Chains A and B, each alone.
Chain A
């Protein structure tokens, strides 16, 4: 496990998760020094995948910062009674302080009806933190669309997990000056390929997970084939591209990342559901806005 907990750094764990056969499992996160929302949502999905397959799931952590961050992001509130950990969670609760960069703690939801409340709350936080209307709209639009996709297509026993974090530097790729908002969501549903396969007209585009993911990013592509459906993800990719950010979509053994002017895809260990990560860099802010 590398120092940064991302979705990619969990690949070896996902690769091994399918082989777990009721024995105890410990996720060794002691080398982790930094957790981004994608890693947090990926970890939540991994733990949900392991719990029904293992007699006990453990998480090993080191130091104070990462356990404290996980506590602030509500990880132990959601999983504390279902995983064993070497961390004294009670002592972390006493030290609990709000992190101004946290725009949305790890949240678990199941239905579309929960989404407006999530959006209302984050919009208020963004407004209080001085985000401009256009930025608030971009962040809220991205979050509402990917949450709606998860609620509609990602039905599973655990629903979906989402988290949003703002950083005072760019954390995607080489660390550099600027600001960045990261939005992540993971669900345990049937995945993009199976969803699109329900539409017979898409048979030629669902041969592999990566084919399905690339096609899912096109305007108007949906599992139902109804006119008007399948626009959300394409527009989210457009929002990310306009802010020079990116959108990563992962499902099954596929992963596609869309940037402003290019699209990468590669095969990855099986992810049991659908995962989305959106990076929205912010332009430099005026220190004393008029």
Chain B
């Protein structure tokens, strides 16, 4: 099973910048800066839950500025080994988040509530979907076991999982393997 990691919940509808109606890029920028501060303060390996459930309206401009750019920076490694999870139910509000992430060829893990079953919002490349599903089904799995499960060679499997880790959708751990080698193992973020 995946190891317990630090996490924090950021309620977008609360706080200094929040509200029920989240519109415009300048509002999105203010929320993103607050999210970045919270995310950066987490220990390595930590997860930030971005809870938008109290928000009634999130227009595309806000969604892209607050979440699209945040996910983009997370995918480029700007926040190190820290992860984002969207807490939101399956409702219309997701449309603009989905559109922004798809524009950026990115995805985020989404849960209905903290501790809920994970899903995806945005775009996961078709060839990575089965890999992502296998890692989430297993909870935690080594590269060798994952390669066997997917019928891939070790290098191809590692390449796929590394891409998912860069997108922020899984954790990747490096372990020492005898003799003098190393092996990767992958874990679900939530």
Q: Is B140 in the interface zone, CB < 8 Å from A?
A: no
Q: Contacts A137-B57, A228-B64 given: A119-B104 contact, CB under 8 Å?
A: no
Neighbouring A residues of B69 by C-beta, 8 Å: 228
Chain B 49-74 against A: per-residue CB contact (8 Å), 1 yes, 0 no? 00000001101110010001100100
Contact (Cβ within 8 A) B59 A145 = yes
Q: Contacts A113-B26, A116-B21, A228-B69 given: A123-B103 contact, CB under 8 Å?
A: no
Residue of A nearest to B102 (CB): A219
Contact (Cβ within 8 A) B26 A144 = no
Q: Is A190 in the interface zone, CB < 8 Å from B?
A: no
Q: How far is the CA of A87 from the CA of B68 in the complex (A)?
A: 51
Q: How far is the CA of A82 from the CA of B96 in the complex (A)?
A: 41
Contact (Cβ within 8 A) A119 B21 = yes
Neighbouring A residues of B60 by C-beta, 8 Å: 141, 145, 231-232, 235
Main secondary structure of the interface of B (DSSP, over half): helix
Q: Is A148 in the interface zone, CB < 8 Å from B?
A: yes
Q: Is A112 in the interface zone, CB < 8 Å from B?
A: yes
Neighbouring A residues of B59 by C-beta, 8 Å: 140-141, 144-145, 148, 232
Q: How far is the CA of A112 from the CA of B72 in the complex (A)?
A: 24
Q: Is B100 in the interface zone, CB < 8 Å from A?
A: yes
Q: Is B7 in the interface zone, CB < 8 Å from A?
A: no
Residue of B nearest to A123 (CB): B21
Chain A 231-260 against B: per-residue CB contact (8 Å), 1 yes, 0 no? 110010000000000000000000000000
With a 10 A CB-CB cut-off, give which of A119, A140, A141 has the most chain B CB atoms: A141
Q: How far is the CA of A136 from the CA of B99 in the complex (A)?
A: 20
Q: How far is the CA of A119 from the CA of B21 in the complex (A)?
A: 8
Contact (Cβ within 8 A) A148 B92 = no
Q: Contacts A145-B59, A145-B61 given: A115-B100 contact, CB under 8 Å?
A: no
Neighbouring A residues of B61 by C-beta, 8 Å: 144-145, 148, 232
Q: Is A220 in the interface zone, CB < 8 Å from B?
A: yes
Q: How far is the CB of A184 from chain B (nearest CB, A)?
A: 18
Residue of B nearest to A122 (CB): B21
Q: How far is the CB of A107 from chain B (nearest CB, A)?
A: 15
Neighbouring B residues of A148 by C-beta, 8 Å: 23-25, 59, 61
**Which of A144, A152, A227, A231 meets B23, CB within 8 Å?**
A144
**Which of B26, B93, B95, B104 meets A227, CB within 8 Å?**
B104
**Which of A123, A133, A144, A229 meets B24, CB within 8 Å?**
A144
Q: Is A134 in the interface zone, CB < 8 Å from B?
A: yes
Contact (Cβ within 8 A) B96 A116 = no
Residue of A nearest to B101 (CB): A228
Neighbouring B residues of A232 by C-beta, 8 Å: 59-61
Contact (Cβ within 8 A) B23 A228 = no
Q: How far is the CA of A116 from the CA of B29 in the complex (A)?
A: 14
Q: Contacts A145-B61, A228-B64, A231-B60 given: A140-B99 contact, CB under 8 Å?
A: no
Q: How far is the CB of B37 from chain A (nearest CB, A)?
A: 21
Contact (Cβ within 8 A) B68 A228 = yes
Neighbouring B residues of A228 by C-beta, 8 Å: 64, 68-69, 72, 100, 103-104
Contact (Cβ within 8 A) B99 A133 = no
Q: How far is the CA of A102 from the CA of B119 in the complex (A)?
A: 42
Contact (Cβ within 8 A) A219 B56 = no
19 A-B pairs (CB sep. < 8 Å): A112-B24, A115-B23, A116-B19, A119-B23, A136-B56, A141-B23, A148-B23, A148-B59, A152-B25, A227-B104, A228-B64, A228-B68, A228-B103, A229-B64, A231-B99, A231-B100, A232-B60, A232-B61, A235-B96
Q: Given known contacts A133-B56, A232-B61, A235-B60, what 10 new A-B pairs fall within 8 Å (CB)?
A: A116-B19, A123-B56, A136-B56, A137-B92, A140-B57, A141-B57, A148-B61, A228-B104, A231-B64, A232-B60
Closest 7 pairs between A and B when the two form their complex, measured CB to CB:
A144-B23, A228-B64, A144-B59, A231-B60, A232-B60, A228-B68, A137-B57
